Structure 1
């Protein structure tokens, strides 16, 4: 048990933050510049790699959904996406109301790496241009994924499934292990540039707000689902608590599927509906993750006084709801999928991205818990409409088709 805790990404992120803060008090400038150099190189690599990641993961995901195409697949995917977007809209509305008070007096210096502004400079830089822009990768993924479905190309589907595995291997053995060093360098640089106190104070408040709001979000989902399904929302939510607390411990929607399934059955959801909705929503329903990322991103926008329009924020939320479908099945996957949008739509720099990653992973499990618990609410809604209009074997067939790409 202890070894699993020490080897977890969360533990390493916490250690990186603490060490970055402490080392900022005594590190010589020449040594700090080593980590500034690493951060610049790693950030450039992310700029190159993230569009490839999005294309590699979304393409087979779109093709897989197309292969399982059916009325209830479309209905469930639509509800899940709508729930995720509503979560982002709620976070946006809340931030607009409370941040002027909650974050009053806090600022975020965005040029900590600028020597002209008293920051630390890297020893050298290496440009790593992306093979294509993020939006081009997203559009190409949709075109290729839908095209594979239309022509029923098994060869291309197998190719992209293996390509996805290759890219995921790079994420798990290279990107994720280096994240703690990236975050260490960010907090070290913030400390040496006297910008740490205000940043930690402000983000601490946003962290607490995000945790509370993920819980409020789940409650709202069950109030709506209970009204639609004619069930007591509080009893239904109580039945889903095992799934919520399991997700808190695992930080993985996939690992929680068996518990989510059993908890959903306790709410009198048909077993075929539960067997179809729960695995599907574990991949496409990310309302809790959306809540956290949007709250964090808008906190950075507010503190850094970035000139971001309402159109930019709306576009960010709508696209994030799609990109997170392809989030890697690893802790922090959703924020990795969001990196390119944070840069392209909101104009975030390297330090802002690093802060977002650290803050997200610190309470990653609360977002995951909200995601999987919300899956039970979606199952209640689908069960309400599916029970009287389609037979169970049709749902089972759709589930088998949906699961096929992962085999």
Structure 2
């Protein structure tokens, strides 16, 4: 993730956008895994001489998209999700051994696709937010007025707590 943040900074992505979007994207956004799972399930269904209908393709796409949200960032964790989807579609699991043999290489490609998409999402979000909001945000953060407002609110909260304690007595 630090390399993604550095890459976003080098490509003029607003820091407040990249600091929020990239960690969120790393947690919830696994494009490479979803594409791998979908294509692998369809490949294994065709190699096992099963007829693949349009409904099976749609179900596979939906299941892989939803289950890619739950994939942990552990090497070869997509195989488990692949087996879950194949079981739900009644596809024989013997072909998984073929994919497991090249998993070490495919895992690196998935990670690359995921990393590129995380930075692209941050750049897209930064472009939508515009550059004017960055300057205004930095001014608001560094403004002494914002510090004064926070201090006033905390003093007001303390006064309210004191009044409630006095009323209880």
Number of residues of Structure 1 aligned to a counterpart in Structure 2? 136
The alignment yields a C-alpha RMSD, in angstroms, of 2.2
In structure 1, C-alpha distance between the alignment counterparts of 2:87 and 2:137, rounded to whole Å: 45
Aligned residue number for residue 378 of structure 1: 121
Note the residue ranges of structure 2 that are not aligned, 5 or more in a row. 139-169
> Does the alignment pair 1:318 with 2:44?
no
Of 255, 272, 286 in structure 1, the residue corresponding to residue 16 of structure 2 is 272
TM-score by length of 2: 0.70
> Does the alignment pair 1:296 with 2:36?
no
Residue 314 of structure 1: CA displacement?
1.0
In structure 1, C-alpha distance between the alignment counterparts of 2:9 and 2:32, rounded to whole Å: 22
Aligned residue number for residue 403 of structure 1: none
Residues 124-145 of structure 1: CA deviation (Å, up to 9, x unaligned)? xxxxxxxxxxxxxxxxxxxxxx
In structure 1, C-alpha distance between the alignment counterparts of 2:69 and 2:78, rounded to whole Å: 8
Residue 392 of structure 1: CA displacement?
4.9
In structure 2, C-alpha distance between the alignment counterparts of 1:327 and 1:379, rounded to whole Å: 21
2:64 and 2:85 in contact (8 A); partners too: yes
Structure 2 CA distance for partners of 1:313 and 1:296, relative to 1, 3 Å: same
Structure 2 CA distance for partners of 1:389 and 1:313, relative to 1, 3 Å: farther
| Structure number with larger C-alpha Rg | 2
Aligned residue number for residue 309 of structure 1: 53
Structure 2 CA distance for partners of 1:389 and 1:312, relative to 1, 3 Å: farther
Alignment of 1:206-245 (within 5 A): none
1:273 and 1:383 in contact (8 A); partners too: yes
TM-score by length of 1: 0.31
Note the residue ranges of structure 1 that are not aligned, 5 or more in a row. 1-256, 394-407
Alignment of 1:175-190 (within 5 A): none
In structure 2, C-alpha distance between the alignment counterparts of 1:296 and 1:360, rounded to whole Å: 11
